[in-house]
Amino acid sequence: MKKERYDGFFGGLYKRNEVFIMLSAVILLGSIFAGYAFAGVLNSVLGGFYGDFQNKIIHGQIQLNTFSLFFNNLNVALLIYIGGAFVGIISAGYLIFNGLFIGYAGTQFPLGDYLVYTLPHGIPELLGIIIAGAAGFRLGSCVLNIFKDLLHMRTDISKGTQFNYIIGMHIDEFWESLKLLFIAAVLLIIAAFIEANLTIAWGNYVKSVL
């Protein structure tokens, strides 16, 4: 019996994807810090995106309810995940951009207020984006391994047989990426529920007692 059987579903999933999760976390959190620290330099680029984001809220494209917030964040997670099909490069790019945007947005408010009003939903939301990034990197690894094997196909066996064999060899890695994406989606809907129903009340309460 494999040792992974004793790790449990989440423990085994984490161990098999630890490198991808850590890589995703470093990219996202590092980009958040950079976006905050270098907001002045990035203003010419991110200022427009921030203005567009505010307009979406003003015009009701993004509403302060669970489903609207969830689908907005899910869209980000899906872009990060699908970007993994390009060997993870686009996933990394989306992580960097979102991290820079989050950090930049933090400079538009007093830091204390920003933290009070974002931490309750921000923790599961960031975890969800990090895991979506890991899912993208896992998908990228799957695609890369398939292409590597396709380049070494033999001439004495039918290409269809070899193709099916190669896909079968790496299908578990694809399912692994979907498991990570599902966990990311669960975290994002939790974050959306907290943001829509609890964050403002929590922030107002904290500010009232400080």
Over the chain, what is the mean pLDDT?
A: 92
Would you say residue 189 has pLDDT above 60? yes
Domain contains 6: no
Number of domains in the chain: 1
| DSSP string computed for 114-142 | HHHHHHHHHHHHHHHHHHHHHHHHHHHHH
Reported as a single tens digit per residue, the pLDDT across 78-95 is 999 999 999 889 999 999
How high is the pLDDT of residue 155?
81
pTM: 0.91
Query: Worst-scoring range by mean pLDDT, 53-57, 90-94, 182-186?
Result: 53-57
Predicted pLDDT at 91: 96
- The answer to whether residues 79 and 98 touch, using CB atoms and an 8 Å cutoff, is no
Q: How many helices (H) and strands (E) does the chain have?
A: 7, 0
Interacting residues of 191 by C-beta distance below 8 A, sequence separation 6+: 69, 73, 121, 122, 123, 124, 125, 128
Domain with 151, as residue range(s), is 18-209
Has residue 13 been placed in a domain? no
- The answer as to whether 8 is a domain residue is no
pLDDT tens digits, 110-138: 999 999 999 999 999 999 999 999 999 99
Sequence-distant (6+) residues with CB within 8 A of 89 are 83, 140
pLDDT band at 5 (very low <50, low <70, confident <90, very high): low
**Residues across the chain:** 210
